[in-house]
Amino acid sequence: MSQPSTTEGPVDRALPATERGRRMRARLLEAAREVFERDGFLDARVTDISAAAGVAHGSFYTYFGSKTEIFRALVAATMDELYASLGTGDGAPGGDLPSGDRPRDAVRRIDRANRRFVAMYRQNTALMALFEQVTTFDPEVRALRQAARERMVGRVGHSIAQLQAEGHVDADVDAEYSAHALVAMVNGLVHYWLVLGAEFDEDRLVATMTGLWARSLGLPPGD
């Protein structure tokens, strides 16, 4: 099957100005998710998305220029949600650490963040599998993937640098490259497990990822 064109329509179409328009756009995104997860990207059709949303075929084009454009919008919203879950509350590996036993607090935060990442990835497994597929031929989706990864790497790198400044992590640790390696480990293992079907025990896997993360930085391995 031939690959779709990746030059269809703008990526950053303006959001609707009315509440009704925003609801309709959200309905189309929800329908698109259903169709993409059921049929895959290549076999999904705009007519099927419109039907799933319960709108006329022509109404689709009021909000999106093509199935590629709606897929990009769906992926962008999902990635924002995924990484926002890692940046809220007291569980993010980036941001300011709480008072108390700082190194152990940091490891607990890493563990909570890893568990939230697993939960979010599980919730979006089918879409994340398609996301990886489409990155191979759509430069806009590939750019979304890279930007999301860079945001997470930046937060992790900031956290490592903060711990270095406090004397909890050796100064000779390369914060930037360590952040890239640690994020790649978590993302790659979770993808291998949930998308490719490897058999892992969730608690054991998360504990292992957290332990490797902690030991690589010279932090206590955790409770």
* Domain-located, residue 80: no
What is the span of the domain harbouring residue 50? 1-73
Please give the C-alpha separations between residue 30 and each of 52, 54, 203, in angstroms, as whole numbers: 9, 11, 31
Q: Determine the residue type at 109.
A: R
* Domain-located, residue 79: no
* Domain-located, residue 222: no
* Domain-located, residue 223: no
Residue 125 has a pLDDT of 94
Residue 84 has a pLDDT of 61
Residue 170 has a pLDDT of 94
Say if residues 113 and 159 touch (Cβ distance below 8 Å). Answer: no
**Do residues 21 and 107 both lie within one domain?**
no
* CATH number of the domain residue 47 falls in: 1.10.10.60
- Ordered per-residue pLDDT tens for the chain, 223 residues: 344 444 444 445 667 879 999 999 999 999 999 999 999 999 999 999 999 999 999 999 999 999 999 999 999 888 877 766 654 334 344 334 444 468 888 888 889 989 998 999 999 999 999 998 999 999 999 998 898 889 888 888 998 999 999 899 999 999 999 999 999 999 999 999 999 999 999 999 999 999 999 999 999 876 5
The last residue of a domain, from among 15, 39, 73: 73
* Domain-located, residue 143: yes
**Do residues 91 and 176 both lie within one domain?**
yes
Residue 190 has a pLDDT of 94
- What SS3 state is found at 88? coil
The two three-digit tokens of residue 130, written as one number: 């398609």
Residue 222 has a pLDDT of 64
Closest C-alpha to 144, from 46, 204, 193, 73: 73
Residue 11 has a pLDDT of 44
Buried b (16+ CB within 10 A) or exposed e, 114-131: bbbbbebbeebbebbbbb
